[in-house]
Amino acid sequence: MQCSWKAVLLLALASIAIQYTAIRTFTAKTFWLCSIPNRLNCSPVLDVELVDRVRDENPSLVSNVSRKTHILILATTRSGSSFVGQLFNQHFDIFYLFEPLYHVQYALIRKASQGGGITDRRIVLGAGRDLLRSLYDCDLYFLENYIKPQPVNHTTDKLFRRGASKALCSPPVCEALGPVDIHMEEGNCIKKCGTLNLTLATESCKDHEHVAIKTVRVPEVSDLRALVEDPRLNLKVIQLVRDPRGILASRSETFRDTYRLWRIWRATGRKPYNLDTSQIVAVCEDYLNSVSTGLNRPLWLKGKYMLVRYEDLARNPMKKTEEIYSFLGISMDSSIERWIENNTRADNTSVKHKYGTLRNSAATAENWRLTLSYDIVEFIQNTCQEVLAQLGYKTVNSPQDLKNLSFTLVEERSFSPFF
Ligand SMILES: *[C@@H]1O[C@H](CO)[C@@H](O)[C@H](O)[C@H]1NC(C)=O
Ligand SMILES: *[C@@H]1O[C@H](CO)[C@@H](O)[C@H](O)[C@H]1NC(C)=O
Ligand SMILES: *[C@@H]1O[C@H](CO)[C@@H](O)[C@H](O)[C@H]1NC(C)=O
Ligand SMILES: *[C@@H]1O[C@H](CO)[C@@H](O)[C@H](O)[C@H]1NC(C)=O
Ligand SMILES: *[C@@H]1O[C@H](CO)[C@@H](O)[C@H](O)[C@H]1NC(C)=O
Ligand SMILES: *[C@@H]1O[C@H](CO)[C@@H](O)[C@H](O)[C@H]1NC(C)=O
């Protein structure tokens, strides 16, 4: 009987695949066989042994697959980060935390200003990096250093936006809500789940394949270099940007006190002499620094950085989400697709739209053109000229062009990640 080299190769490949699958299954099983209180002690040992054995036989195959991915959503306030966060929160294998750095800022800077002053953000940064490192390592106790009042017996009811994290509202952390209730309002979780047991939260984190954290409290991607290069982590940064003119319009509606003078400018047509422009200037500076860093493709960011424009996500949420998951090397599960469908339809009255930013998404992404006055737009265009060009946001030269929605100000650009 003839036996071609192709058949031999095929057989060899198949057997590797089977061995690999078997070992993966075995690994996963042993993980679950351990009872919860002991799991912390028993599973890593077995995992490491098995993974090492397989790695010796098939180095390229295992090393990549078996690693946890640490996802950081680097965003700014009102740039669509809640929506992007949900794209990870809804994933079965991802442990998601919504803005844990809030606690660092709150503990270190008493006067919590919306979005944070520039010096404030720098102070938060060093402590924030340490916290991120610990959280990616599923050490949730580390957060206790910053939560006020300090948690007792590793429990707290003061975790910021706990309800925004699916894992913290579902078993084993919270038994009060079944899988069916998980698409609930945040308040429901707070009401029904009671005090958060950080020991259980830590276990839940370890049970998940990946960890994702959203923050608006890291100014630019270079600030993350120490974490990106940390060999104990496998950090991937998704930087979410949005047209600063859109950010300003959205913040003026949401933070009515802080942005009061901007609304006075819009209403009266006269720029208040004491207008505080520092926050929007900071957005543009941070973007410029980050994007310049990213476009230079430094070695340390290779395969670790993806720039996502909110407007592209709004225009085609499914496609963009697929690209994001493909960059991460994680497969997208069907709950993500369903969630996107549920939350991006304009006319779907059957669901409550909490994440209104993407409701009727393509249409609302450029709605700021109807709400900001031309003077304000011109001011931002002058302030942010360079970064607008870099990100592919067109400027307008007249009030007519500003209000004429029949053409878009978002240029086609592909900011592909580099590997
Ligand atoms: C795994 O990663 C290594 C480098 O870290 C790479 O050379 C190899 O091709 C990867 N293997 C797979 C199957 O992706
Ligand atoms: C913390 O645990 C100890 C020992 O179980 C207990 O005596 C104490 O009352 C607990 N404290 C609080 C605030 O629950
Ligand atoms: C938190 O959960 C752990 C693990 O189940 C348990 O041992 C501990 O008693 C719980 N803590 C409190 C205060 O209930
Ligand atoms: C989508 O909406 C339907 C109808 O309200 C709901 O039953 C379902 O759980 C939602 N799915 C997701 C993934 O949010
Ligand atoms: C509303 O969402 C549900 C669940 O995704 C979907 O089945 C239904 O077709 C949608 N309705 C409309 C009018 O888009
Ligand atoms: C709006 O823009 C379109 C496309 O550039 C142009 O054809 C049209 O005349 C403009 N309308 C007004 C009112 O300026």
- Transcribe 129-190 into DSSP letters: HHHHHHHHTT-GGGGGGTSSSPPBTTEES--TTGGG-GGGGSTTT-SSS-GGGGG--HHHHH
User: Is residue 16 one of the residues assigned to a domain?
Assistant: no
Same domain, yes or no: 303 and 336:
yes
pLDDT, position 190: 86
Give pLDDT tens digits for 254-293: 898 889 999 999 999 999 999 999 999 999 999 999 999 9
Give pLDDT tens digits for 29-39: 333 323 333 33
Type of residue numbered 159? L
Give pLDDT tens digits for 173-215: 998 876 655 555 678 888 889 899 999 999 999 999 999 999 9
User: Is residue 354 one of the residues assigned to a domain?
Assistant: no
Q: What are phi and psi of 95, to 5 degrees?
A: -95, 120
DSSP 299: G
Nearest residue CA, atom 9 of ligand 2? Answer: 153
Same domain, yes or no: 283 and 383:
yes
User: Is residue 45 one of the residues assigned to a domain?
Assistant: no
Same domain, yes or no: 248 and 395:
yes
Nearest residue CA, atom 7 of ligand 6? Answer: 406
| Residue that terminates a domain, selected from 157, 189, 208 | 208
Give pLDDT tens digits for 119-163: 666 778 889 999 999 999 999 999 999 998 999 999 999 999 998
Alpha carbon of 348 to ligand 5 centroid (Å): 6
Nearest residue CA, atom 2 of ligand 5? Answer: 342
Q: How big is the chain, counted in residues?
A: 419
User: Is residue 351 one of the residues assigned to a domain?
Assistant: no
For the CA of 400, the closest atom of ligand 6 is: 14
- Nearest ligand to the CA of 369 is 6
Rg, Å, the chain Cα set: 23
The two three-digit tokens of residue 377, written as one number: 């737009």
Q: Which residues line ligand 2 (CB under 6 A)?
A: 152-153
Alpha carbon of 55 to ligand 1 centroid (Å): 12
407 pocket-lining for ligand 6 (C-beta < 6 Å): yes
Same domain, yes or no: 373 and 283:
yes
Is 248 in contact with 398 (CB distance < 8 Å)?
no
CA distances from 197 to 144, 158, 162, 209 (A): 12, 11, 12, 21
Is 165 in contact with 208 (CB distance < 8 Å)?
no
pTM assigned to the model = 0.78
Same domain, yes or no: 193 and 266:
no
Same domain, yes or no: 280 and 335:
yes
Nearest residue CA, atom 7 of ligand 1? Answer: 60
- Nearest ligand to the CA of 202 is 3
Mean pLDDT of the chain: 82
For the CA of 404, the closest atom of ligand 6 is: 1
d(CA 82, CA 378): 28
Quote the domain boundaries for residue 110: 94-208
Residue 42 has pLDDT above 50, yes or no: no
| Residue that terminates a domain, selected from 208, 223, 248 | 208
For the CA of 155, the closest atom of ligand 2 is: 14
Type of residue numbered 408? T
Nearest residue CA, atom 9 of ligand 4? Answer: 183
Alpha carbon of 321 to ligand 5 centroid (Å): 19
Nearest to 328, CA basis, from 94, 136, 164 = 94
d(CA 210, CA 67): 9
User: Is residue 334 one of the residues assigned to a domain?
Assistant: yes
Q: What are phi and psi of 102, to 5 degrees?
A: -50, -45
Same domain, yes or no: 266 and 364:
yes
How many domains are contained in the chain? Answer: 2
339 pocket-lining for ligand 4 (C-beta < 6 Å): yes
> If you write DSSP's letter for every residue of 204-239 in order, what string do you get?
HHHHSSEEEEEES----GGGGHHHHT-TT--EEEEE
User: Is residue 305 one of the residues assigned to a domain?
Assistant: yes
Same domain, yes or no: 128 and 179:
yes
Residue 297: how many other CB atoms lie within 10 Å:
11
